[in-house]
Amino acid sequence: MAQNEKITILDIARRTGLSKGTVDRVLHHRGEVSRRSYDKVMAAIEELGYEPNVYASLLAKGQHHLVAVLIPSHEPGTFWELAAAGIDKAAESVGTVGIRMQHFEYDQYDIESFRAACARVLDAEPSGVVIAPLFQDETDVFAAQLRERGIPFAYIDSKPESDGYLAYFGMPLYKSGYLCADQLTGGFAVPSVLIVRIRRDRQQQSDPTINRRAGFMDYMLEHSPECTLGNVFIDPNDPDSIEGALDAWFREHPGTRHIVMFNSRIHLLVPWLQHHPDSQRRVVGFDNLKANMDALRDGTVSCLIAQHPDEQMRLAIETLSEYILRRKLPQKKDNFMHMDILTRYNVEYY
Amino acid sequence: MAQNEKITILDIARRTGLSKGTVDRVLHHRGEVSRRSYDKVMAAIEELGYEPNVYASLLAKGQHHLVAVLIPSHEPGTFWELAAAGIDKAAESVGTVGIRMQHFEYDQYDIESFRAACARVLDAEPSGVVIAPLFQDETDVFAAQLRERGIPFAYIDSKPESDGYLAYFGMPLYKSGYLCADQLTGGFAVPSVLIVRIRRDRQQQSDPTINRRAGFMDYMLEHSPECTLGNVFIDPNDPDSIEGALDAWFREHPGTRHIVMFNSRIHLLVPWLQHHPDSQRRVVGFDNLKANMDALRDGTVSCLIAQHPDEQMRLAIETLSEYILRRKLPQKKDNFMHMDILTRYNVEYY
DNA sequence: ATGAAAGCGCTAACAA
DNA sequence: TTGTTAGCGCTTTCAT
């Protein structure tokens, strides 16, 4: 792969009878070069098989790039905390190549804070940015601004409809719902399933789980058409209401043995589940939050579908780095990532 | 994390009243330095928070390190082909930091070829080596030779009892058997299970799956104590014998619905399974070989337990690189890696 | 449009 | 034991 002989710009300068300076100019397409010289240099590069020495280049320009990461603020124990952890991992691997990272957080329930964070990102003049987009329209606006400035960007977790991004890393949502249904039912027909959902108040905030729910529904339709699907809405900030809501539902439908949630909050059900044990019950949720994994370990939750958000972050950052440093485009633009099935028997090393 | 000011060896030379040369000497512990100077330099380094500039270093010494990878030869479609793929991935990430990779293959059924490969590795004078050890004793011998020469090494997939390695990356074998049993039975008691094994002829070749089998047995004992476990041995090179062996077994035990293999060869059963369809059957195997994943997709195999051997390889190489370049020890020496559960609903993006 | 030359931070050979 | 110095290959002024 790598050339064994080390051809330097000096070699190609000599070969063409030009100087290092001119060679450098054509190498970086920064004009001020006669057509004739340009061609000669290109020919020599081709002929000699020149490959730039990255270290020398980096050393000489002493330049450090900045990659900005724009994600919802990550309180401990939340999904975004996991993603944030990926920043540090990535920093380790690309930090050595002259890329620094800075993260900018916003309140996922406050569109204004998102706008403000975008502005701060632009002020920092990054060479690239990773975006976890929760507000569709605002993200499009921001993406346009980035494009205007020629700043490459990548999405993680989800992505808006608009194009122009360098890469996307995330879970295939529809299929995750399908997989979830299979794990919940084991492939057998079941009489009824309880879907627990978060009550979202107001706002254009799109529900990120609709696609997942659709996949789930389709699986059930195909494999368990007789199944009754019940919905219960809870308020994550009011534990009592959760107990109440579940009590109410089970009073009506005591036979339900299958419970599912499509977001990362399955851990909210743990208290109720523990007060009402049922060895025949199956509970499936999403994402490897600590609280969720604990519930898996003690058997309260049967299965979790997870996706290593830190890996997605790392990949996004590395892809961006490759592009920034060497203008290398990713192999695939849309990278749908593997969905991990977690049970009590394989959580340990996750 | 990263220092914002760039402290160079010149800074610390000035600070201590010494020269760059001396600073460099203490930085690389290459003696010829008075105790007094040494201390002063160390103090200054600490104080100023000096961090070496990797590019400058790499540029100056123009040296490229070699990491040797010693694995069984990887015919297409085998487990080791997957591991080998990780070499290229790692090459991408550490290649930019002055580390090249070279792999040395051996015949996993021929101890002599292993010895020969070891010799070739030593000849190449690598700065580090990754070993996939299949021959316990010979590996120990080789490890000793490496230690003698001060060459760091890491194991992947499995590791011998002896110490002295830098790191290990692999699957927790015993637990993988346990997990496998859970996936096979779904947690329910089952009447009988057929275990298909590879007939190994002669040689001290340790069976890499014994631990896995032990984990499996223990699970069954706990959850399905009444279960009958049958063993059938097949010869991977003789497809006809496979059909014959299975036919024979099922003639005697027509009620068996659970089949498992503890190595990566579950795909060998596909022809037989397809000729004898049974929608109630569950078949579980290991490793994400293409043939296995195909069988998963078409429903012949129910579940695969996999481990991304390419990731293990990548991690081993990166860990070695960190050590070679910066003498940085890995956080954990023994890295038991996550076991992935693959079903037809989540193979697609694996 | 092109060339010359001064670094970037570190290494290593050579002097002292 | 320590200091000096000439590169490593590339970038970037500043002349020309």
**pLDDT tens, position by position, A8-52:** 999 889 999 988 999 989 888 877 788 898 888 888 888 888 888
Helix, strand, or coil (residue B56): helix
Higher-confidence residue of B231 and B4: namely: B231
**Cβ–Cβ below 8 Å for B96 and A98:** no
d(C-alpha A307, C-alpha A323), whole Å? 24
pLDDT of residue A326: 74
Record the tokens describing residue A273, joined without a space: 């589940």
Q: Which fold has domain A60-170+309-334?
A: Rossmann fold (3.40.50)
**pLDDT-derived band at A1, boundaries 50, 70, 90:** very low
**pLDDT tens, position by position, A228-282:** 999 999 998 898 889 999 999 999 999 999 999 999 999 999 999 999 999 999 9
Supply the pTM of this predicted model: 0.84
**pLDDT tens, position by position, B271-283:** 999 999 999 999 9
pLDDT at position B253 over 60: yes
First to last CA, chain B: 34
Count of C-beta atoms within a 10 Å radius of residue B108: 20
d(C-alpha A234, C-alpha A256), whole Å? 18
Please state which of the ranges A21-30, A88-97, A300-309 shows the lowest mean pLDDT: A88-97
Residues of chain B with CATH 1.10.260.40: 4-52
**pLDDT tens, position by position, B138-159:** 999 999 999 998 899 999 998 8
d(C-alpha A283, C-alpha A281), whole Å? 7
Q: Locate all alpha helices (DSSP H) within A19-63, ordered by sequence.
A: 20-27, 35-48, 54-61
- Statement: the CB of A37 is under 7 Å from strand C: yes
At residue A117, what are phi and psi to the nearest 5 degrees? -65, -40
**pLDDT-derived band at B1, boundaries 50, 70, 90:** very low
DSSP structure string for B216-276: HHHHHHHH-TT-EEEEEEE-TT-HHHHHHHHHHHHHH-TT--EEEESSS-GGGGHHHHHHS
Record the tokens describing residue A343, joined without a space: 């049970």
Nucleotide nearest to A33 (CA to C1'): C1
Residue with tokens 């990120």, as numbered in its chain: A208
3-state percent breakdown (helix, strand, coil) of chain B, nearest 5: 45, 15, 35
**pLDDT tens, position by position, A125-174:** 898 999 999 888 899 999 999 999 889 999 999 888 899 999 999 999 99
d(C-alpha B213, C-alpha B195), whole Å? 9
Residues of B in contact with A310 (CB under 8 A): none
Higher-confidence residue of B147 and B90: namely: B147
Residues of A in contact with B91 (CB under 8 A): 1
Cβ atoms of B273 and B283 closer than 8 Å: yes
Q: What is the 8-class DSSP label of residue A128?
A: E
- Averaged over B190-219, what is the pLDDT? 85
∠ Cα B92 B308 B117 (to 5°): 70
Quickly give B325 CA vs C7 C1' distance in Å. 26
Quickly give B64 CA vs C1 C1' distance in Å. 38
Nearest residue: Cα versus C1' of D8: B60
Give the pairing type, strands B282-286 and B128-131.
unpaired
pLDDT of residue A205: 58
Cβ atoms of B143 and B160 closer than 8 Å: yes
- Averaged over B284-310, what is the pLDDT? 96
In chain B, the percentage of residues whose pLDDT exceeds 90 is 61
pLDDT of residue A95: 66
DSSP structure string for A261-316: ESSS-GGGGHHHHHHS--TT-EEEEES--HHHHHHHHTTSS-EEEE--HHHHHHHH
Nearest residue: Cα versus C1' of D7: B60
**Beta strands per DSSP E along B59-142:** 65-72, 99-106, 128-131
3-state percent breakdown (helix, strand, coil) of chain A, nearest 5: 45, 15, 35
Residues 6+ apart with CB under 8 A from A327: none
pLDDT of residue A3: 37
- Statement: the CB of A31 is under 7 Å from strand C: yes
Q: What is the CATH code of the structural domain delimited by A173-306?
A: 3.40.50.2300
Residues of chain A with CATH 3.40.50.2300: 60-170+309-334, 173-306
Residues of A in contact with B172 (CB under 8 A): 348-349
Nearest to A216 by CA among A262, A150, A248: A262
State chain A's mean pLDDT as an integer. 90
Cβ atoms of B190 and B220 closer than 8 Å: no
d(C-alpha A10, C-alpha A20), whole Å? 6
Cβ atoms of A154 and A320 closer than 8 Å: yes
- Statement: the CB of A10 is under 7 Å from strand D: yes
Q: What is the CATH code of the structural domain delimited by A4-52?
A: 1.10.260.40
Helix, strand, or coil (residue A227): coil
Q: Which of B341, B343, B350 to mutate to test the interface with A (most CBs of A within 10 A)?
A: B341
Cβ atoms of A162 and A135 closer than 8 Å: no
pLDDT of residue A5: 57
Cβ atoms of A319 and A296 closer than 8 Å: no
Count of C-beta atoms within a 10 Å radius of residue B99: 23
- Statement: the CB of B59 is under 7 Å from strand D: yes
Record the tokens describing residue B162, joined without a space: 């002896």
Quickly give A60 CA vs C2 C1' distance in Å. 21
Cβ-in-10-Å burial (0-12, 13-18, 19+) of B169 comes to buried
pLDDT at position B3 over 60: no
Cβ atoms of B183 and B305 closer than 8 Å: yes
pLDDT of residue A4: 45
- Statement: the CB of A19 is under 7 Å from strand C: yes
**Cβ–Cβ below 8 Å for A2 and B97:** no
Residues in chain A: 350
d(C-alpha A225, C-alpha B90), whole Å? 47
pLDDT at position A56 over 60: yes
**SS3 assignment for B131-184:** ECCCCHHHHHHHHHHHHHHCCCEEEECCCCCCCCCCEEEECCHHHHHHHHHHHH
